[in-house]
Amino acid sequence: MAARALPVLAALVLAAGCHKQEAAAPQPQAAEATPAAPSPAQKVVLDNKGKAAPEAPFTDLAAGRPLKLAEFKGKPLLVNLWATWCVPCVKELPTLDRLAAQSGDRLKVAAISEDLEGAKVVPPFLAGKGVKALTPYHDPNNALMTQLKEAQLPVSILYGADGRELWRVEGDMDWTGAKAKELLAQAGV
């Protein structure tokens, strides 16, 4: 009996893989997430110091065009990978926005969303949170996370004006606090 059931089961598994999958349910927003997940432990990582920024393209949602991190070369760049459904990401977002507003031409802050729905969710989410200084960017295929070998959000990477990594912070941070100022000073910010 078991010997006859195995081929039937295998045929069902193979047939199931041929069907088009239904559209995924929309990603929950952080404000809807219950219960609130604890923030990951903040960790400063120096393992990639000196490595060039990845070449993965991402999208400038405001301009509607693709770009790469190399286009920001010439001044320090803080890249923050985040998502609307990530509670710690949303927690640090207002401080990233204030940092972007206060930094002027000394530092570019690029908060790049890893949300699957990109333009549909990111700009309205930022507007709803009162974010004004951050340009909405989106990594549609999570290529930056893959090239950076990161598996969790949020993660922030500081590149010097030469486009080489100085450090990265895994976990959320108050980007207007003393620890952030100390870290940013390494790039002359």
**Per-residue confidence (pLDDT) for residue 187, from 0 to 100:** 81
Model pLDDT for residues 91-136, shown as the tens digit of each residue: 999 999 999 999 988 999 999 999 999 999 999 999 999 999 999 9
Q: What is the mean pLDDT of the chain?
A: 82
Reported pTM: 0.79
pLDDT tens for each residue of 137-153:
999 999 999 999 999 99
CATH architecture of residue range(s) 29-187 = 3-Layer(aba) Sandwich (3.40)
Which among 56, 59, 91, 77 is positioned nearest to 164, based on CA atoms?
A: 77
DSSP code of residue 52: B
- Where are the chain's structural domains? 29-187
pLDDT-based confidence at 4, cuts 50/70/90?
very low
Reading across the β-sheet that carries 155-159, which strands appear in turn?
Answer: 43-45, 165-170, 155-159, 77-82, 108-113, 137-138, 58-60, 65-67
Which amino acid is located at 62 in the chain? A
Q: Beta strand pairing status for 155-159 and 77-82?
A: antiparallel
40 with 170: CB under 8 angstroms?
Answer: yes
